[in-house]
Amino acid sequence: MKITDILKQDACHLSFEVFPPKRSAGLDSVRGATEEIAKLGPSFVSVTYGAGGGTSDFTLNIAKNIREKTGVPVLAHITCVSSSRQTVAHYIDSLKRSGIENVMALRGDLTPEMEGQDRSGWDYRYASQLVEELKASGDFCIGGACYPEVHPESRNRHEDLQHLKEKVQAGCDFLTTQMFFDNDLFYSFLYRVRDAGIDVPVIPGIMPITNANQVEKALKLSGSHMPIRFLSLVDRFGNEPAAMEQAGIIYATDQIIDLYANGIRNVHVYTMNKPAVAAGILKNLTAILAA
């Protein structure tokens, strides 16, 4: 099933993101955890693509396993910045052979070595080039990333939005946001997106922070604004793992309920491959998702 068809439905939905292992030694346990997460019945499961393309085989492996074992629709990620056209063409062939119809087209992060390089000769500099290629290669439903708090490399939000518009015009069917911890940032972003004439669905991405170590990583990855209410919770419960997990699940649930209450129908949760966290959030939403 294509994600655009899920997004057309009236009901509220929750979808989950999982990530593949870095090495084959971790494959069995990640297959187990991701299967467990998919069995909870999300609207779809996205499977990330390792930085630098290191886990491309595992992305497909995990995505196919989820679909075969649970029947839940899958979204396979792909990044392009460190890839040649040949590698990307090969991956697109594998997607087709695996019957995967939903693809998240990403540029990927620049490594510190890449940052100083002359990028003019690279096969791919931006995700929009990958979107164009996917669009021309088959009947894929294509997602793209967007950043309510502006992508860290952009000079300003106007420029960021113009590039986002170009990416959507290249063929994105929907967008998923970077994590955020203050819903007002998402609402004002959505307003600017619509004002810029971007009319594809925008799925908010919510990261439940369930241990204190995640805070620093999340900040480094996304530069997200952390509201005082959220930081107080980490200060108070950060050293008590069970309490922090419970507080993190409730904070994320609270964000999700607010999004639904404001008319958003699909929310994507970054599960970090933790079935208990995904299940905890779903349990808090049973009546809301059934409404």
Q: Active-site residues: which are they?
A: 17
Tokens describing residue 19: 């990530």
Least distance (Å) between residue 232 CB and ligand FAD: 26
For 234-242, which contacts have Cβ atoms below 8 Å and span 24 or more sequence positions?
234/209, 238/211, 238/212, 239/212, 241/211
For ligand FAD, the closer of residues 127 and 233 by Cβ is: 127
Residues 6-45 contacting ligand FAD, CB under 6 A: none
What is d(CA 90, CA 81) in angstroms, rounded to the nearest whole number? 15
Which residues pair with residue 143 across a beta bridge? Answer: 104, 174
According to the 3-state scheme, what is the secondary structure of 203-249? ECEECCCCCCHHHHHHHHHHCCCCCHHHHHHHHHHCCCHHHHHHHHH
**From 205, 208, 248, 280, residue interacting with ligand FAD (rule: CB under 6 A):** 205
Residues 232-291 contacting ligand FAD, CB under 6 A: none
- Which has the closest alpha carbon to 106: 86, 89, 137, 130? 130
Residue with tokens 């990261």: 207
What is d(CA 116, CA 52) in angstroms, rounded to the nearest whole number? 17
Residues 35-94 contacting ligand FAD, CB under 6 A: 48-49, 51, 77, 79
Least distance (Å) between residue 244 CB and ligand FAD: 24
**From 64, 96, 135, 151, residue interacting with ligand FAD (rule: CB under 6 A):** 151
**From 55, 128, 214, 255, residue interacting with ligand FAD (rule: CB under 6 A):** 128
Which residues pair with residue 108 across a beta bridge? Answer: none
Q: Build a one-symbol-per-residue string for 177-196: x at contacts with ligand FAD by CB under 6 A, - elsewhere.
A: -x------------------
End-to-end CA distance of the chain: 23
Under rule CB under 6 A, residue 109 binds ligand FAD: yes
For ligand FAD, the closer of residues 233 and 266 by Cβ is: 266
**Stretch binding ligand FAD (CB under 6 A), from 8-16, 111-119, 122-130, 233-241:** 122-130
For ligand FAD, the closer of residues 65 and 177 by Cβ is: 177
Under rule CB under 6 A, residue 173 binds ligand FAD: no
What is d(CA 291, CA 11) in angstroms, rounded to the nearest whole number? 8
Give residues in contact with ligand FAD (CB under 6 A). 48-49, 51, 77, 79, 106-109, 126-128, 145, 151, 153-154, 160, 163, 167, 176, 178, 205
